[in-house]
Structure 1
């Protein structure tokens, strides 16, 4: 896992590329988003309004109302009066115009309105009418930046054609330690490895792989962007001779490349990897977007964040990305090891969020995140102690004792250890209050 503290983001280059555009579409925003947000928070401070559309949102009125409520925590309780009135009317164009007006009344300097996970809602006629009215009425100092895993062409296509919107694709290379804004019209490869796993090419899912092995090899190569042939053979065919493993590998890799090409353009040849200096690396013909990579970057950057605001944003992004365990249906040693590694990293994100809320004095929210962290990483004695202390603070003595017993059993079974002195002191506190 590479150290991302040296990764760079040129905010000035981004602003130059998007200058004069009302709308910026990042497709699908995978690698750039974390670096953009963290850098913008460092460099622009108050110049961004961020809202992530929650997964349970189903319609325009609900998500606009939720956004108003969240923005009121930073813009004041009086924000959004016109929009609230328009929401009662439920006319999409009026809602768009009212929201632009309310934002224009509070935005005094150059500001970005960043809408994250926008594809949680339907891009239907209602949304299209709202978007067209909202963008048309945007004040000059406000720019709309949209992030989504998959963006429908409408209503953005005519905005791009007219010059009001710009689409930016990105690629992060393992060797470059930085992202580059991609100006080429290269095919987009999207890999979502949390859960059962899904690979898309130019928005089209790959549904047939001619067997389990090509599919699994595709995920392995995406997850290992710099890998030797010996490492591949060890992961997939450790008991075969080099000659036999080579034959199976080339046949399987050819099937992978055939599936990749079939989802892009049958008249051209596309490969998932290219061979350079003894390594299989990501093909330069494709722009990659990988949810696991973004997850890792978010956690690593949160660990070195300079303030709670940035740290919380990064941890929340990591938690949102971890929708389920890594490739949960693949039962191979390399996948099992990777699943455990990412699970522990997920526990780091949950723990980080919990301790942020501890510092804020929001004990109920802290308990929720820390309890989840203890379940994901039962070997983390320090996290169990945090949970026990919170239970004691809430007067939940029985729950505190249960948590101690869970911790004791986990330490014994996983590492053959007994609780430390600090943990045993908590047990004495539990007994004293029982």
Structure 2
């Protein structure tokens, strides 16, 4: 196949995949990263904005200053909300995030792309990595961020993909397994985080953690491609000063290594990562692999892929723990689980296997009873089954739940109920 045809196919797949997500990473090993960036910039059918990180982008303040300047040159009113912030407010990351997102919302009315080129210049900047991670759910629905980097950004890609907020592209393919290159070592490690969380080394359970911190440190190291010591200390011991946190980290790391009888974390070029001598099989990654298979259009094995995702999800991420980063990931993986259940329910409805579909909806409600769209789906399904009274009763139970929590069902749900009781 000629090169231009390969590039055309890669660009077509890029556009198709970008339609269903918020963040696209052009994998560092992609041969056509720069060509795809150029193609996107030169495509008259798309609106694209561009920022190349420079050598000064090693702090969030420098990044915000640089990108605001460059985007204002491409759209004169960009930065209006950021520039309204008082100097003291610039230290408030939440204010920066909300105002930056508001500026993005006004950047263009229709679908647009924002390319962050040479993103690896920010590798050492924890605050930039954190900012981009927290920005993703705040992005306007018509914005797509495209990252071009020579390294894998330190962002929790696996959980973001589970939530359908990110994809990783390598030329004309979507990366869908071994996202962080942690498979292929000599010692097999089976890791199960969807549920209470446990680890098997060469088929034997690890039960000598000496407390919960070494175990959670291990799961945190699996959360992203690499981590810094400062990230670890900020996540686990934010109340301690730097020296104290570092001391506790080293004690925790030694206990982790002792539990597995090897150096689980290796330190390379200022970053910690999982030892490449390990062959890690991680249920969260397997779960996301099945989700990606299920999302493929016209996949004849779609139902089976979603069923495998449901089977892999044994419970909430690290069930029983309430650390902030764990709660964030738990929500991400739950989104993927609900996606799989609802996709399977829709197939069963098309097959007129309504009881099977109802069982899947009820299982989804067990995981997230407050999700109002699910209740409407159940009410409509009852109607389709000719069980109008049960549809009305379901609404009443849900409305009572909402009232007990100081809320009311939204207008769409109320309108559906009115149509039910009016016949």
Q: Kindly tell me: are residues 393 and 4 of structure 1, through their superposed partners in 2, closer, same or farther at Cα, counting changes over 3 Å?
A: farther
Provide the TM-score with structure 2 as the length reference: 0.54
The one of 261, 281, 285 aligned to 2:277: 285
1:432 aligns with 2:422: yes
Judge conservation of contact 2:395–2:417 (CA < 8 Å) in 1: yes
1:344 and 1:376 in contact (8 A); partners too? no
- 2:222 counterpart SS class: helix
What's the counterpart of residue 205 of structure 2? 205
Aligned 8 A contact 1:225 1:280 in 2: no
- CA deviation after TM superposition for structure 1 residue 401, in Å: 2.0
1:381 alignment partner in structure 2:
372
Residue 390 of structure 1 pairs with residue 395 of structure 2? no
1:317 is matched with 308
Alignment of 1:11-160 (within 5 A): none
For 2:26 and 2:343, locate their aligned partners in 1 and report how far apart those are by CA, in whole Å.
18
Pair 1:172–1:255, CA change in 2 (3 A): farther
Q: Secondary structure at the match of 1:271?
A: coil
Per-residue deviation at 1:206?
0.7
Inter-CA distance 205–241: structure 2 relative to 1 (3 Å threshold): same
> Following TM superposition, by how much is the alpha carbon of 1:326 offset from its aligned partner in structure 2, in angstroms?
1.9
User: Unpaired runs of 5+ in structure 1?
Assistant: 9-170, 262-269
Quick one: distance in 2 between partners of 1:405 and 1:341? 29
Structure 1 residues 344 and 173, CA gap change in structure 2 (3 angstroms) = closer
How far the C-alpha of 1:392 sits from its partner, in A, is 1.6
Shift of 1:408: 4.3
State how far apart, in whole Å, the 2-side matches of 1:314 and 1:283 are: 30
Q: CA deviation at 1:5?
A: 11
Distance 2:368 2:388 in 1: 23
Aligned equivalents of 2:214, 2:411: Cα separation in 1: 47
Q: 1:414 to 1:300 in 2, by over 3 A?
A: farther
Which residue of structure 1 lines up, in the alignment, with residue 194 of structure 2?
194
Give the equivalent residue in structure 2 for 1:403. 394
Q: Is the 8 A contact 2:177 2:286 kept in 1?
A: no
Task: Choose which of 162, 170, 179 in structure 2 pairs with 1:174.
Answer: 179
Q: Which digits, 9 at most, give the CA deviation of each residue in 1:375-432, with x for residues without a partner? A: 32334333222210111222333321233245546677889674233x3332122212
Counterpart position of 1:419: 410
Is 1:304 the counterpart of 2:296 in the alignment?
yes
- 1:392–1:283 CA distance, 2 compared to 1 (3 A): same
- Residues 174 and 352 of structure 1, relative CA distance in 2, 3 Å threshold: same
Aligned length: 256
User: Could you say if the C-alpha distance between residues 283 and 414 of structure 1 is closer, same or farther in structure 2, counting changes exceeding 3 Å?
Assistant: farther
Q: 2:192, 2:282 within 8 Å by CA — same for their partners in 1?
A: yes
Deviations 1:225-274 (A, max 9, x none): 4322222122210101111111100111011011111xxxxxxxx32222
1:318, 1:410 → 2: CA distance? 30
CA RMSD of aligned residues (A): 3.2
Point out 4+ residue stretches in structure 1 off by more than 4 angstroms: 1-8, 406-418
Superimposed CA distance per residue, residues 99-118 of structure 1 (whole angstroms, 9 cap, x where no aligned partner): xxxxxxxxxxxxxxxxxxxx
1:219 aligned onto 2:219? yes
- Counterpart-to-counterpart distance in 2, 1:224 and 1:279: 11
